[in-house]
Structure formats: C-alpha cells, structure tokens
C-alpha cells in the first residue's frame, strides 16, 4: 500500500471517528425530528421548482408530501410505515394513482443520528450547523433555533429551503385517505416514473438511503426504479 494512500485512509478513519461523537461543543449532533410537524418547502431541481407540504407523523406511522409543481400538477405522495406508498392526483387533474411498496418504512425521528458534522455555514441568511449523511444529503440546521433551514440531495443537486416549520401540527384524519381509484384495477401504470414524480420525493429518497442501499438511490435518482425495487402492492 502506498504511503500517501495509507495516510489519507487513516485520516479518513480519524475524521469518521471524531465526527461521529455525540454532542459536544465542536461536533454537535442534529436535533431529532419532532414526532409530528408540518413544513412548507421550496424545492429546486436544476431550475424546476416545486412547493412541498411535508406532514411528518411518526406516532401514526405516516408521512405526506403534497407537491405543487410550479403552475402545474398537484401530486400527493402518501407514505405508510408498513412500506406502502400511494402516489396520486385528484380532480381537477387527471385521476391517477400508483402504489409502490418499499421494504423500509418512513424516516425515524433520529434518522440524522450518524450524520457527519461539517461545521458552520451561512445559508438563506441563517447561521447553520451542517451535516452530511451517506454521501448523498447535506443538511443545514439553524444554530439558534435548531430548526432545519435547507438541504441538498447531492446526487441530483435538488435543494430544499424550509419556509415554515410547525412543530406538533397534524393533518386532519380524512386527508390521509388515498382515493378509491388507488384500490381499483384501473390505476395508471407507468413502469418508469416520470422525472417529476415520486422519485423526487424527499422521503422516498431518504428511505432508500436509510439502509445504505446506495445502488437503489443512484438508480432512482437516475429515474430508473428497478422492477424488483419497487413493485405494485395491489395486483
């Protein structure tokens, strides 16, 4: 083994080791996500903009991304902790629904626990602590309030700016019901999701990464969800 390589490998181990320590002055840990919250996110992927309402509801095992594409379609991405996700549109848009099954559930509140601390940066006019996780997300948290401010999916370059963050907000029960056509046999069936569809969901990308299943993340970010990765849960 060449010495320069050995040296950088050892530094890598050293950095990994020191940065994974628990909260102290130099290496703070990110705040756990609240058990329930509502956030409004402005997201940008290569100039394509969307506004996402994120309703995280850990005690009830569910998570919702309601995605308004700029001057376009409103998409509902309803994710259950049992691995089933419903991805649909409602009237006045064309009634479509796709059902996916993932082998992991929704994000745990402590999903950032093993993130690697990168230090402080200014972002969106907030002084932030910054972490990266699994080489694919960089996450910015306000130093003062410890609320998330911003994140970047490193592979796709998609950015999210957190506009509101309401701790404890819960979406009314009736809104968590997927429409009846999600349960019929006539659902729209696209083998490959379009670029603006479910693969861009904050949570789906993260759910995949949680298990460090990088290949799946890369595949999905490239718009190629494999047949054996995501399959219909309804025949």
Report in angstroms how near the CB of residue 6 gets to ligand NAG at its nearest: 38
Q: Quick one: which segment of 79-87, 111-119, 132-140, 208-216 binds ligand NAG (CB under 6 A)? A: 79-87
H helix count then E strand count, the chain: 3, 11
**Shortest CB 146 distance to ligand NAG, Å:** 25
Q: Based on CB atoms, which residue is closest to ligand NAG, 19 or 176?
A: 176
Instruction: Show the tokens assigned to 65.
Output: 């991304």
According to DSSP, the residues that pair with 73 across neighbouring strands are: none
- Residue 216 is inside which H or E element, if any? helix 214-221
Query: Would you count residue 68 as binding ligand NAG (CB under 6 A)?
Result: no
Q: In terms of CB distance, is 31 or 170 closer to ligand NAG?
A: 170
Q: Are 219 and 225 in contact (CB under 8 A)?
A: yes
How far lies 184's CA from each of 9, 53, 95, 187, in Å? Answer: 54, 27, 12, 6
Among 55, 58, 76, 80, binds ligand NAG (CB under 6 A): 80
Q: Where in 169-228 is the site for ligand NAG (CB under 6 A)?
A: 184, 186
Query: Under the criterion CB under 6 A, does residue 82 sit at the interface with ligand NAG?
Result: yes
Measured between alpha carbons, how far is residue 28 from residues 15, 35, 193 in Å? 15, 21, 38
Residues near ligand NAG (CB under 6 A): 44, 46-47, 49, 80, 82, 84, 157, 184, 186, 233
């Amino acid at each position: 083994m060449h010495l320069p390589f050995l040296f950088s490998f050892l530094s890598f181990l050293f950095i990994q080791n020191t940065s994974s320590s628990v909260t102290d002055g130099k290496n703070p840990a990110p705040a756990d996500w609240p058990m329930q919250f509502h956030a409004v996110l402005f997201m940008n992927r290569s100039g394509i903009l969307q506004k996402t309402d994120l309703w995280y509801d850990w005690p009830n095992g569910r998570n919702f991304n309601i995605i308004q594409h700029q001057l376009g379609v409103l998409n509902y991405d309803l994710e259950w902790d049992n691995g089933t996700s419903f991805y649909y549109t409602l009237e006045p848009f064309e009634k479509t629904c796709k059902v996916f099954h993932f082998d992991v559930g929704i994000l745990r509140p402590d999903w950032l626990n093993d993130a690697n601390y990168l230090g402080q940066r200014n972002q969106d006019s907030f002084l932030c602590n910054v972490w990266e996780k699994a080489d694919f997300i960089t996450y910015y948290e306000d130093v003062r309030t410890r609320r998330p401010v911003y994140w970047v999916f490193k592979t796709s370059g998609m950015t999210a700016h957190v506009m509101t963050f309401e701790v404890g907000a819960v979406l009314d029960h009736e809104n968590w019901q997927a429409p009846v056509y999600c349960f019929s046999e006539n659902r729209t069936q696209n083998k490959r999701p379009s670029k603006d569809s479910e693969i861009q969901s904050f949570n789906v990308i993260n759910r995949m990464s949680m298990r460090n299943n990088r290949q799946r993340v890369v595949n999905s970010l490239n718009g190629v969800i494999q047949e054996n990765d995501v399959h219909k849960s309804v025949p």
